[in-house]
Amino acid sequence: MTSASTCTWTGAPATLGNWRTAPHNRWAFHHVREIVPSAEIRNDPGHVHPLAQGEQIEMPAVDTREGALAYDDLMEKIDIDALVVAQQGKILHERYRNGMGAGDPHILMSVSKSMLGLLYGVLSDRGLVDINAPASDYIPALQGTAFQGATIRHLLDMRTGVTFDEDYELTEGLIVDYRKSTNWNPLAAGDPVIDLHDFLLTLRETHTGHGGPFNYVSPCTDLLGWIVERVTGLPYAQAFSQHLWQPLGAERPAYITVDRVGAPRAAGGVCMTARDLTRIGLMIADGGNGVVPQSWLHDIATAGDPKAWDTGGFAKDYPGWSMHYRSKWYVIRDKGPILMCVGIHGQNLFICLNTGLVMAKFASFPTALDTSGERLGLRLFQAIRDTR
C-alpha cells in the first residue's frame, strides 16, 4: 500500500545555504532542482519496466539494545521519507512521508556513486574505458596532481592515497571549497569562482601510495564522472540516460546537480524516485537483466578486498560484519551476500542476492552521519530478509 503524510515544511525557505540542514532538508531533499542547478536524465516513456503489486508484507520490529522497535516508531526515529520493499518484480511494501509521493525524485547523496559504478560496468563492457588504465590517460591534466598514477580501478574502489578530509561538519578547508565548486554551497564575499574540474586539479597531496587501504574521497567519483564525459563524448546526464537509465526501463526522468559550467556532481547529486531506485535493485538481483553485465555484478559481489576494508576508515562503523567495497558498492559478505549503497542523511539501497529481496530507503537525518540510524536501516532489511 502506498501512503503519504502531509508536508512537514514550515514555510521557512530552503536556500542554498541551509538546504542540507534540519528541518529544511525534509522538504529540500525532494525539491533539489529548485535550489541547485541540474541536468535531466531522460527515461524512455515507451520502455518502462513494470512493477507489479505483490501481496503486502507485515513490516517487522527491529531488535535494539533498548528492546524491539516497532516499524512505525523506526520510521519516525530515523526520519524516513520513502521506503519501498520488492522482490521478483513485485512491490511488497511502499510508504512515503514528509510530503513525498511515488512520483517525487529524492536526492541519493552518495548512493549516486553506486549508480556511477554500474555505469562503468556498461562502459567497460563496451570497450569505452579500460578499468586498469591510469586516469591520466583520459585526462592528461591530472599529471602532477594527487591523482597521478591512480588507475580507474583505484578510483572505483576508493583505494587512492589522495589526502582529503571528508568531515561533513567542517566549516572551512578543502571540503567546503569542494562544495562551493559543485554549486552546493553559496560563495562568500571575496571567494574565487571555481568550478568542479578546476577544484579537482588543485588536489596535490597524497598520504600513501595508490592501491592501499579503503580511503573515502568523494572527489574521486567526480573525477570518474569527468572521464565518463571524455570517453562517451556526451554530458554525464546524457551518457547515464543512454547507457543505463533508458535500458533499465525507468518510469520517470531522474536528474543530477551540476556546477556553474555544467559539470555533474557524480559523487552525490543524482535524484530519482524510490520506485526507480527499486528497479535498479531488482535489475541487479536479476543478474543485470541485460542492462549491466552479469560479470561486472559478480565482480562487485566477490572481488573486493576485505583487508583493504578492514584497514580503512569505515570498518569501525560496521563492527562484527565481514565486508568489502568494490566499484562504489558496499558488500556484506554473509547470508546473501548483501549489496548495499550508502548516502549521507540516510539514503540506502539494499539487495540480498540469495533471495532477490530489495529495499530502497530515502531519509532526511538531521545530521549527515548517523551510524546508529544507518545500522537500524540495515537491521530492518535483515529482519525482512529473515522472514522471506
**Angle CA 264–41–234, to nearest 5:** 60
In whole angstroms, give the CA distance from residue 244 to residue 131.
Answer: 18
Residues 6+ positions from 222 with CB-CB distance below 8 Å: 182, 196, 200, 263, 264, 265, 266, 267
In whole angstroms, give the CA distance from residue 240 to residue 237.
Answer: 5
- In the block, cell 524491539 appears at 68
In whole angstroms, give the CA distance from residue 142 to residue 204.
Answer: 10
| Nearest one of 224, 277, 338, 370 to 83, comparing CA atoms | 277
- In the block, cell 542554498 appears at 16
- Report the 3 state secondary structure along 365-376: CCCCCCHHHHHH
334 DSSP assignment:
S
Q: Would you say 175 and 165 are in contact if contact means Cβ atoms under 8 Å apart? A: yes
| Nearest one of 143, 144, 262, 119 to 196, comparing CA atoms | 262
| C-alpha grid cell, residue 325 | 567495497
Q: Would you say 90 and 51 are in contact if contact means Cβ atoms under 8 Å apart? A: yes
Q: Name the strands in the sheet holding 52-53, side by side, starting at the edge strand that comes first in the sequence.
A: 52-53, 90-96, 80-87, 357-363, 347-352, 338-343, 329-332, 323-326
Distance of CA 169 to the CA centre of its chain: 20
264 DSSP assignment:
B
What is the number of residues in the chain? Answer: 388
Q: Would you say 329 and 114 are in contact if contact means Cβ atoms under 8 Å apart? A: yes
Directed axis angle between helix 274-285 and helix 111-125, to 10°?
50
Enumerate the active-site residues: 110
| C-alpha grid cell, residue 14 | 530552503
348 DSSP assignment:
E
